[in-house]
C-alpha cells in the first residue's frame, strides 16, 4: 500500500478503474461528464444502443444486494452492447469458502473485461483492482460507508446540467451524512470541481465535526444549513438506523429535517432538490417537494445511466 | 378515473397498452392474432430473431412470482431483439418502502420502453399505464383474479388455428372458474370474437351464477357442460384452494371433473382440449388425455411466444 | 433402454447430445478438443463473440444449484451469440408439481434449441435427451455422482495443452474419488484418449477397490500414488463429507493427502497440478502449490469456456 501512483490511473494518467472520487483529477471528472452528455442523447434515441463494448464481458459482483444500483449498471452495460453476467454471490462459491480474490481470479480466467463491484466492506474494490490483470477494469458500485463514485458523478452531472458552473455554488447535503457513501463521494467531487461552499446538515449525532476537516461547514439546524443554497441534496434516512439511539422518531425527524415546501423557501428561489433515491416520502422529504418543480430527482436517475455508460466506456478504452 | 376513452388505445384507436381483453375492439384482437401468425414462422426458423425491438428496454416487473410466464415474455422480447431486464421486486427498493409508482417512475427515467407487469392486485397494470409517460407501454402479465390477456389471446390463436372460425363454436371452460383470470380473459375474448356459446363448468362453489351475467351458461355437471363442445378448456386446480372448504379431495375432484378419455367422448369427436399449464396429471386431467391426440396444450405454449411477440411489437410501434 | 446405439450420437455417428464421456469415440473427443482451440483464440480477442448460435435459444436447467458452472455455460453460450435463459427451477413450476418431462416439453414448445442440464440424480440428462424432439440438444452439466463431461473435456484439453500427447502419461487423481463425478469423467476420457496409467489416490473409504475395474490403479498412500506422475489432479474435499464418519478432521486430511510443495516433489519435476475448483486452501491443497508455477488451475478455467463453446457449437450443428 506504499505505492504513490493513484491506482485508478495508468502511467499516462488515464482512468483504468473507478474506485473513488477522492484524488481524481478534475480533468478526468470533467471528461467523464462530457462523455456522458453523448450518452444522454443515446438514451433518447429510438435505438438506445452503441457498439462500444460489443463482445466484452461485464460481471456484476454484488456482494451486497442492491437491485436498484445493479439494474442501472446492467442497463448501462447492455446499451454499450456488452454481455452482462450477474453473480448472486451469496449463493455462489464464496459461500463454499472460496476467497474474494479466488473468485475474481476465476472470473478473470473466463476472460472478464470489467467488474462492477458492490461490497459492504470499504476498500474491497481497491483490493480487487490491485489484483486483476492489466486488461481488466474495476468500477466501484458502492463499498461500505466509503464511496459510491458513480452516484457522486451523476450528482455532479445533474448540478452542472442545471447550474452550468460550480464556481459560485452553495451546496447543502442534508441528513445522515455520517453513514452516507453518497455524501462522501459528493463532497470529494464538489471539491475537485471547485465548488466553494459545501455544507453538511443533520443531527449532531449523524454529521459530526469530523466532516469539517473535509472542507465542509457543518450545521445541525436545517434553516441555517440550507439558507441561500443553490443545491439541496437530501439523503435517504435508513430505516435500520432508527432502531439505534442515534435518532428520534421518524415523525420527529421529519419535523426537524424533513424538507417541506415551506422549509425549501429558505434556500435560493431557483434551488434544485436532489436525492439519491429511493425516497422515503414523509420522512426526509415531503411529497410536495419530491413531486414539485424544484425536484430533479428523476433527472438524476436518467443522467445516472449515461454517466455509468461513460465510466465503463472510458475505462474499457484504456489499459494499465 | 372519469375518462371515457379506453386507456389501452390512443386517440387513433391504436393499441398502446395491453391491460385486459375487456372492451378491446374485435379488429384489434384480430390484428394481434394475424400479426402473431408471422411470428410463429419466426420461431420455426434457424435464426429465431427479428430486429423490431432492437435497442428497446423491456422490464419484467413481477410483483408476484411466476417463472413460467416471465420466461415466455423474456423469450418473446429477446426474439424481438430487445434488451430485457428482470426485477426481482421482492428484493428491490419496494421492500425498502418505495411505492409502486416511484419504482415505475425511476425505471421510466432509465428510459424504459415497455413494462411487463404481474401483480397480485387487480388493476395494478392500469394504475401504471395511467401514470407512465406517453412513449412507455404496459403489458399485463396477470393481475389478481382479474385478467391475463396474453393467455386469453394465445387461447384465441389456438382455437382459430384449429377451428378456423368462432361463429359456430361451443366452448366449455372447466374447473375453478371463480379464481381464474384465464377464464375471465377467455370469456371476454370469445365474446369479442363472436363465439355464440361459452359455457363454464365446475362445482357450484367455484363457478357461481354471477358468470351468467357475463353471457355464459353455467353448469355444475361435466357431462352436460361439455356435451357437443368443440373446445374444452381445462383449468388448473390450484393446490392452495384444496385446503379451504370449497372443494372435496383431489380424488373426488378428479372423479367428478377430471377429464378422462371416456368423459371426453361427451364432447364433439373432433373437440380440442386446452389447458393453460402447468397441468396436474390425475387431478383436473388424465395423462391419457393430456398426451392424447385431441390435446393441443403444447401448441398453446408455442403460439404463446408468438402472441406475446405480436403484442409487444404492436404496442411498441404506437404512441399515446 | 434396450437400444444399442449410443444416445449421444445420430445415425451418422455425429454428436447430438453430450451426456457422458463413457462410450464416446476418441475421434469425437479429439474433434471437440480441436474445435475448442479455435475458441480459445476467440476468448483472447477484443470482440469475444462469434455468430454460430445467433438466434438460438439455450436454456440453463439447473435443478441443482451451481452458480459457478452455470456462469461458465452462460458465458460460452453468449459468446456464441445465443439467447440464454436461466430457469431457477426451485422456484418454477416443478415446485407446483409439474414433472421434469412436462417442464422440458413446455420449454421445447417455446422453441428451445439446447438444454444445459444439471441435476442431482444420475441419468436425468439421459432421460431428457431421449424425450426431446430431434432438433433439440442436451448437454450434461453434472448429474449426481455420475458424470460431468465438460469438466472431463476441459481437463483433457488442459493436459493435451501442456503435455501434447497422452500415450506416455501417468495421471494421478487425488482425493474423494468415490463421490466425484469429475474423477469418473476424467477416468473415462483418459482411457478413451489412450492414457496408459491412471491412478486414483485417497483414503480407502473414498477410493474403494471398485475403481480398479475401471482400469485404474488404486492407492491409499499419497507418496506412492503420485510418484513419477506427469499430471496430478486434486479433487475438492466437500465439506459436507466431513460430518460423516468417512474422514478424519480437515487437519488430519491435509497432513495425509493435502498437496504441499514438499509432497509435490514426489511427482515428476515438470508435473502439472490441476483442480476443478473452487479450491479449499489448506485442506486438499496448500496455497504455495495452488499459486505456484506447476499449478494450471486458472488455465483450466479459461479452457473450460472454450470447451463448452465447442460442445455447444458442435451439437447444435448436428441433427438427430
Is C202 a residue whose pLDDT tops 60?
A: yes
> How far is the C-alpha of B126 from the C-alpha of B138, rounded, in Å?
8
Find, in chain A, the residue whose alpha carbon is nearest to that of C281. A98
Question: What band does A65 get if pLDDT is binned at 50, 70 and 90?
Answer: confident
Distance CA C165, CA B203 (A): 72
Cα C90–C95–C97 angle (5° rounding)?
A: 150
Q: Give which of B317, B230, B297, B305 is closest to B270, Cα–Cα.
A: B230
- Local confidence band at B2 (pLDDT 50, 70, 90 cut-offs): very low
Residue A114: its H or E element = strand A114-119
pLDDT confidence bin for C295, thresholds 50/70/90: very high
Q: Of all residues in chain A, what percent carry a pLDDT higher than 70?
A: 92
Q: What is the pLDDT of residue B244?
A: 61
Please report the sign of the dihedral spanned by the C-alpha atoms of residue C40, residue C42, residue C46, residue C51.
negative
At residue C1, does pLDDT exceed 50?
A: no
pLDDT, tens digit (0-9, with 9 covering 90-100), for B68-101: 899 999 999 999 999 999 987 755 545 456 788 9
DSSP line for C103-153: HHHHHHHTT--EEEEEESSTTHHHHHHHHS-TT-EEEEEEETTTB-HHHHH
Q: Are C289 and C261 in contact (CB under 8 A)?
A: yes
**For C107, which residue in chain B has the nearest alpha carbon?**
B301
Binary contact (A85, C68; C-beta < 8 A)? no
pLDDT, tens digit (0-9, with 9 covering 90-100), for A68-109: 899 999 999 999 999 999 987 755 545 456 788 999 999 999
d(CA A215, CA B190): 70
Q: What is the pLDDT of residue A212?
A: 82
Instruction: Find all residues with CB under 8 Å of A314, minimum gap 6, and list them.
Output: A15, A31, A32, A35
Instruction: Please tell me the predicted confidence (pLDDT) of residue A243.
Output: 58
DSSP E strands in chain C: the ranges are: 57-62, 83-88, 114-119, 137-143, 170-174, 197-201, 217-219, 231-234, 272-274
Reply yes or no on whether the pLDDT at C251 is more than 90: no
Instruction: Give the residue from chain B lying closest to C53, CA to CA.
Output: B47
**CB–CB of A278 and B57 under 8 A?**
no
Asked whether residue C249 carries a pLDDT value surpassing 60, the answer given is yes
Reported as half-sphere exposure (CB side, CA atoms, 13 A), residue A20 has a value of 21
Interface of C with A (CB under 8 A): 43-49, 65, 67-68, 71-72, 74-75, 78-79, 239, 277-281, 298-299, 301-302, 304-305
What is the nearest CA distance from B288 to chain C, expressed in angstroms? 14
Secondary structure (DSSP) of chain B: ----S-TTB-TTS-BS-B--STT--HHHHHHHHHHHHHHHHHHHSSS----TTTT-EEEEEESS--HHHHHHHHHHHHHTT-EEEEEEGGGSGGGGT--HHHHHHHHHHTT--EEEEEESSTTHHHHHHHHS-TT-EEEEEEETTTB-HHHHHHHHHHHHHHHS-STT-EEEEES-GGG-HHHHHHHHHHHHTT-SEEEEES-TTTS-GGGGGGT-EEES-HHHHHTT-SEEEEPP--HHHHTSSSS--HHHHHHHH-B-HHHHTTS-TT-EEE--S---BTTTB-HHHHTSTTB-HHHHHHHHHHHHHHHHHHHHH---
Rounded Cα gap, residues A59 and A137, in angstroms? 10
Q: Beta-carbon neighbour count of residue B4 at 10 Å?
A: 4
List chains touching C (3+ CB pairs under 8 A): A, B
Q: What is the pLDDT of residue C87?
A: 85
- CB < 8 Å to C108, chain B: 298
pTM above 0.80, yes or no: yes
First to last CA, chain C: 18
Q: Do you find a cis peptide bond into C278, omega within 30 degrees of 0?
A: yes
pLDDT at A178 over 90: no
Q: Give dist(CA B75, CA C57) in Å, integer.
A: 8
For residue A88, the chain C residues in CB contact (below 8 A) are 67
Specify the range with the lowest mean pLDDT, choosing from A297-301, B94-98, B235-239, C250-254: B94-98
The answer to whether residues C154 and C32 touch, using CB atoms and an 8 Å cutoff, is: no
Interface test with A, best of B62, B100, B102 (most A CBs within 10 A): B102
What is the torsional sign of CA C155, C161, C163, C167? Answer: positive
Q: What is the band of B242 on the pLDDT scale with cuts at 50, 70, 90?
A: low
**Beta-carbon separation of A110 and C72 below 8 A:** yes
Give the gap in angstroms from C-alpha A130 to the nearest C-alpha of chain B: 31
Which chain B residue's Cα is nearest to A281?
B98
Q: What is the pLDDT of residues B29-43, one digit of tens each?
A: 999 999 999 999 999
Interface with chain A: mutation pick from C48, C66, C237, C280, highest number of A CBs within 10 Å:
C48
**Chain B contact set for C57 (CB, 8 A):** 48, 75
CB C307 within 8 A of CB C281: no
Q: How far apart are alpha carbons A81 and B53 in whole angstroms?
A: 14
Residue B202 in grid coordinates: 365446475
Torsion on CA atoms C250, C252, C255, C258, rounded to nearest 10: -30
Write out pLDDT tens, residues A184-243.
999 999 999 999 999 999 988 876 667 888 889 999 999 999 999 999 999 998 766 655
User: Which three-class secondary structure state does DSSP give residue C297?
Assistant: helix
For residue B197, pLDDT over 70 is answered with yes
State the residue for C-alpha cell 392424447.
B292
Residues B31, B34, B38: CA angle, nearest 5 degrees: 135
Give the CA distances from residue B88 to residues A31, A71, B59, B68, in Å, rounded to whole numbers and listed in that order: 35, 10, 11, 14
B114-119: strand order across its sheet = B83-88, B57-62, B114-119, B137-143
**B138 neighbors B117 (Cβ within 8 angstroms):** yes
Give the closest of A57, A91, A102 to C67, CB-based: A91
Give the whole-angstrom CA distance, residue C33 versus residue C23: 17
Euclidean distance between CA atoms B136 and B104, whole angstroms: 10
For chain B, the straight-line distance linking the first and the last C-alpha, in angstroms and rounded, comes to 17
The H or E element spanning position A201 is strand A197-201
pLDDT digits (tens, 9 = 90+) for B265-307: 999 999 999 999 999 999 999 999 999 999 999 999 999 999 9
CA angle C66, C70, C71 (to 5 degrees): 115
Q: By CA distance, what is B71's nearest residue in C?
A: C85
Q: How far is B175 from chain A (nearest CA, A)?
A: 39
Q: Compute how many other C-beta atoms are within 10 angstroms of the C-beta atom of residue A173.
A: 30
- Where residue C320 falls among pLDDT bands split at 50, 70, 90? confident
Yes or no, beta carbons of C111 and B279 under 8 Å apart: no
Report whether pLDDT(C144) > 90: no
B33-47, B83-97, B219-233, C37-51: least confidently modelled range: B83-97
d(CA C194, CA C27): 12
> How many angstroms separate the Cα of C225 from the Cα of each of A2, A231, C155, C205, C238?
45, 71, 19, 16, 21
Beta-sheet strands, E only, within C208-300: 217-219, 231-234, 272-274
How far is residue B153's CA from residue B114's CA, in Å, rounded to a whole number?
Answer: 19
Amino acid at each position: 500500500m506504499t505505492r504513490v501512483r493513484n491506482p485508478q490511473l495508468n502511467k499516462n494518467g488515464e482512468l483504468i478503474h473507478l474506485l473513488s472520487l477522492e484524488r481524481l483529477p478534475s480533468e478526468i471528472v470533467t471528461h467523464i461528464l462530457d462523455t456522458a452528455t453523448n450518452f444522454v442523447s443515446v438514451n433518447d434515441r429510438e435505438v438506445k444502443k452503441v457498439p462500444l463494448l460489443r463482445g466484452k464481458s461485464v460481471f456484476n459482483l454484488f456482494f451486497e444486494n442492491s437491485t436498484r444500483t445493479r439494474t442501472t449498471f446492467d442497463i448501462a452495460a447492455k446499451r454499450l452492447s456488452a454481455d452482462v453476467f450477474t453473480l448472486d454471490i451469496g449463493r455462489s462459491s464464496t459461500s463454499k469458502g472460496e476467497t474474494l480474490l479466488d473468485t475474481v481470479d476465476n472470473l478473470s480466467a473466463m476472460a472478464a473485461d470489467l467488474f462492477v463491484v458492490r461490497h459492504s466492506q470499504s476498500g474491497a474494490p481497491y483490493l480487487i483492482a490491485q489484483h486483476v490483470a492489466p486488461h481488466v477494469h474495476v468500477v466501484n458500485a458502492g463499498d461500505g460507508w466509503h464511496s459510491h463514485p458513480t452516484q457522486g458523478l451523476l450528482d455532479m452531472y445533474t448540478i452542472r446540467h442545471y447550474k452550468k458552473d460550480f464556481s459560485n455554488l452553495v451546496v447543502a447535503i442534508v441528513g445522515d451524512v455520517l453513514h452516507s457513501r453518497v455524501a462522501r463521494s459528493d463532497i470529494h467531487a464538489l471539491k475537485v470541481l471547485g465548488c466553494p461552499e459545501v455544507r453538511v446538515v443533520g443531527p449532531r449525532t449523524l454529521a459530526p465535526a469530523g466532516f469539517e476537516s473535509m472542507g465542509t461547514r457543518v450545521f445541525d439546524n436545517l434553516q441555517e444549513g440550507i439558507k441561500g443554497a443553490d443545491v439541496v441534496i437530501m439523503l435517504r434516512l435508513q430505516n435500520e438506523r432508527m432502531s439505534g439511539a442515534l435518532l428520534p422518531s421518524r415523525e420527529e425527524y421529519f419535523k426537524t429535517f424533513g424538507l417541506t415546501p415551506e422549509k425549501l423557501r429558505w434556500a435560493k428561489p431557483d434551488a434544485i432538490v436532489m436525492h439519491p433515491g429511493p425516497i422515503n416520502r414523509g420522512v426526509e422529504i415531503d411529497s410536495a417537494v419530491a413531486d414539485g418543480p424544484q425536484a430533479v430527482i428523476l433527472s438524476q436517475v436518467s443522467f445516472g445511466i449515461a454517466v455509468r455508460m461513460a465510466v465503463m466506456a472510458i475505462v474499457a478504452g484504456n489499459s494499465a
